[in-house]
Chain A
Amino acid sequence: NAGVTQTPKFQVLKTGQSMTLQCAQDMNHNSMYWYRQDPGMGLRLIYYSASEGTTDKGEVPNGYNVSRLNKREFSLRLESAAPSQTSVYFCASTSPQGTGSYGYTFGSGTRLTVV
């Protein structure tokens, strides 16, 4: 099992450019999440999808959009990148019912720099 796969691993954007971060999980999880992590800080929730077909805002959604393409895939889009969006982005998934564990499985992250 690959778990949670994120692409790309690294990206440099110019201010104003757009891009989509991809995330796919192969664990048949219902819920998926996008977090950002800034240096020396914890993880802040950007958007989440409790189940296929639903998405909702997290703590820091401004400047981002998401798409839950199907049960496996959850993408994060930056429409017009800003230097404040320089961060490490983590996708995570979990299945809150029937597994006995609510722990998240994280992808390896996308390190994004906006110049």
Chain B
Amino acid sequence: GQQVMQIPQYQHVQEGEDFTTYCNSSTTLSNIQWYKQRPGGHPVFLIQLVKSGEVKKQKRLTFQFGEAKKNSSLHITATQTTDVGTYFCAGPKAAGNKLTFGGGTRVLVKP
């Protein structure tokens, strides 16, 4: 079945530094979505990418969808303590709008 994998599982970042987290799917995706979950909270939708090679920015966050539509990345610039949380990517199964979630990248920020 479809699998979505994220690396790294954990990311310790010094405040002010940049980092990137990666998402890889075993199958081609029609779109990829990214969510953020704060500690003790629920996942919150951040963005959806649809087109091959698409790049979207949200302030310090840059999202990219691979040319083959099988991978994606999230790059955070100048990390802040507000960036703490777990970032999930998710892709829809071929039939319907059921999302398969990756295992997430848990981000810890050192002040």
Contacts and interface: CB of A to CB of B under 8 A. Distances in A.
Given A43-B88, A106-B43, A107-B42, A50 B97 contact: yes
Interface residues of B, number: 21
Interface string B66-110: 000000000000000000000010001000111111111010000
A31 interface: yes
A74 interface: no
Nearest to A106: B42
A58 B45 contact: no
B102 A42 contact: yes
A43 B97 contact: no
The main secondary structure of chain B at its interface with chain A is strand
Most chain B beta-carbon contacts within 10 A, residue among A103, A104, A107, A108: A103
A96 B97 contact: yes
B96 A42 contact: no
A97 B11 CA distance: 36
Of the candidates B33, B42, B96, the one having the most CB atoms from chain A within 10 angstroms of its own CB is B42
B48 interface: yes
A96 B41 CA distance: 24
Contacts of A105: 45
Nearest to B50: A102
Interface string A73-101: 00000000000000000101010100001
B52 interface: no
Interface of A: 31, 33, 35, 40-45, 48, 50, 58, 90, 92, 94, 96, 101-109
Which 4 A-B residue pairs are closest in the complex by CB-CB distance?
A103-B45, A42-B101, A43-B101, A42-B103
13 contacts: A41-B103, A41-B104, A42-B104, A43-B43, A44-B101, A50-B97, A90-B43, A101-B45, A102-B48, A104-B33, A104-B35, A106-B44, A107-B42
